[in-house]
Amino acid sequence: MSDRAMGELAPPERLLLGPGPANIHPRVHLALAAPLLGHLDPAFLAIMDDTVTLLRQAFRTQNQLTIPISGTGSAGMEAALCNVLEPGDTIVIGVNGYFGERMSDMASRYGAKVVRVEAPWGTALQPELFEAALRQQASVKVVAVVHAETSTGVLQPLREIAALAKAKGALFLVDTVTSLGGADVRCDDWGIDICYSGTQKCIGAPPGLAPLTLSPQALAVLRARKTKVANWYLDLTLLDKYWGSDRVYHHTAPISMIYSLREALCITLEEGLDARHGRHHRSAAMLRAGLQGMGIQPFVPDSIRANPLTTVVIPAGVDDLAVRKALLNDFSIEIGGGLGPLRGKVWRVGLMGYNSTPRSVFTFLSALEQLLPRHGFKVSPGSGLAAAQHALAT
């Protein structure tokens, strides 16, 4: 048992430049401190309505069933799968990273037949692979992909795969945990039937909620189920009665988290989605230019890069964990290491939401320029900062 004295909570201040969570806007901090209400208080019900309206705008959808799930992004993934899959259903899942693997695992636990369309980590999934997989199946209930794969930094093109799913009569399911609010997501225009995200990345709220939206087609599939949804807590037929006009008690909602999501969405939409996406693009371009100026290479080609999350190849001879520990201990900056086969091979640097700024880029590059020579990698002083400044100017 720790001998550390317990007292007032005082966590250290960090610049969170990993794969999430990211730092949040001061307005979101203030929202978290607002007075608690009951989960059926009329004033809170009005806040719920506001949150749903804002979420529809963020997803660029008119879908009636659009709510935040009480749980992290993985709860959103599970809700997206368990509500439309029944035992024996076929789902075709694109797997080119850690979270495609997680989706496959979850779907199999609900008794679905999982058909995997695979590509090496760090590459995009090609539409012709989906076309071939769909051709081999008599019927397919769902086609699923991860938009921005958090383990690799790949941004997956969606529209061609969506068209293939529609031609097969399947629902199209997309994970936008890392992309929503930081990259273009157009549920209605692109034919996305089921879309979920997380609050702790580009949306700009703390972790703990998972925005989710279902198209009328997906809602019809949910209502036509032959069996009950296997997960009671995530059963949308029950949750919809609380978030919809009936207001039937289901669970005690995380009041303060919903406050924070409402405020974060207001900030997002005040900035404008297109402007916000442009800001993420500029910050990522600065970061990549700065790292390359120091001699550090990106893991993913520019053509399929996800602006909110940049993966870079760790220079030969540099100790992954030692550098990340030094960033944390000496500069109070967090970045992420690699997952699965990329463990020890890449760093994952997030520039998400409130953190997607030139200031974050310059702060990180300055720290890294100071650290790398201590760990055996020569860097010309100011090379990364100069390259980032040039990228910002152009």
In CATH terms, is domain 26-269 a member of 3.40.640.10?
yes
Of 259 and 3, more confident: 259
Q: Has residue 394 got a pLDDT over 90?
A: no
Question: What's the average model confidence in pLDDT over 14-30?
Answer: 98
DSSP calls for 328-368: HHHH-EE-EE--GGGTTTEEEEE--GGG-SHHHHHHHHHHH
Quickly state the pLDDT bin for 9 (edges 50, 70, 90): very high
Q: What is the pLDDT of residue 296?
A: 97
pLDDT digits (tens, 9 = 90+) for 124-176: 999 999 999 999 999 999 999 999 999 999 999 999 999 999 999 999 999 99
pLDDT digits (tens, 9 = 90+) for 213-251: 999 999 999 999 999 999 999 999 999 999 998 999 999
Task: Output the CATH code of domain 273-393.
Answer: 3.90.1150.10
Amino acid making up residue 281: H
| pTM for the predicted model, two decimal places | 0.96
Kindly give, in sequence order, each residue whose CB lies less than 8 Å from that of residue 53, ignoring residues fewer than 6 positions away. Answer: none
Quickly state the pLDDT bin for 270 (edges 50, 70, 90): very high
Q: Has residue 1 got a pLDDT over 80?
A: no
Percent of the chain scoring above 70 in pLDDT: 99
Mean per-residue pLDDT of the chain: 97
Q: Has residue 2 got a pLDDT over 90?
A: no
Question: What's the average model confidence in pLDDT over 49-72?
Answer: 98
Q: What's the distance, CA 256 to chain centroid? A: 21
DSSP state of 193: S
Q: Where are the domains of the chain?
A: 26-269, 273-393
Q: What is the pLDDT of residue 114?
A: 98
